[in-house]
């Protein structure tokens, strides 16, 4: 179970790191006009920080309790962005599936393989 959680943490960390960096750099995208530029940059920076929080606390051994918190936070942040942009069904899958996997990581690190 620990290996599965590590694989999910790394894959989700990379996924959300790419998404956050895209949000920071691609402000001219039409659907990003829903919020002002500083709000999108803030959301992107938060997503990058949460993505790093999925992997780094466990990898370094410092404050590993931050991993489930980062997993829940990235799920909430992704849900907020999805609510703002209202994607179609195919876009919802790219939001819901990683969010559910992040919640599984949080559950796994809190209950299945606790510290």
What are the residue ranges spanned by the domains of the chain? Answer: 2-112
Across the range 78-92, mean pLDDT stands at 78
On whether the CB atoms of residues 112 and 68 are closer than 8 A, the answer is: no
Residues 41-84 pLDDT 10s? 888 899 999 999 999 988 888 898 899 999 999 999 888 878 87
What predicted TM-score, i.e. pTM, was given to this entire model?
0.85
**CA distances (Å), origin 56, targets 12, 29, 33, 110:** 13, 31, 32, 17
- CA angle, 107 then 108 then 110, to 5°: 65
Residues 7-47 pLDDT 10s? 999 999 999 999 889 888 876 566 667 778 888 888 889 99
């Amino acid at each position: 179970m620990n290996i599965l959680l590590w694989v999910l943490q790394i894959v989700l960390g990379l996924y959300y790191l790419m998404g956050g960096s895209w949000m920071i750099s691609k402000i001219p995208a039409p659907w990003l006009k829903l919020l002002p530029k500083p709000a999108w940059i803030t959301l992107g920076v938060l997503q990058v920080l949460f993505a790093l929080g999925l992997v780094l606390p466990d990898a370094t051994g410092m404050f590993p309790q931050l991993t489930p918190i980062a997993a829940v936070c990235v799920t909430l942040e992704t849900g907020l962005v999805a609510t703002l942009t209202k994607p179609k069904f195919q876009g919802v899958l790219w939001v819901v599936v990683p969010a559910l996997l992040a919640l599984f990581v949080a559950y796994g690190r809190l209950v299945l393989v606790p510290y």
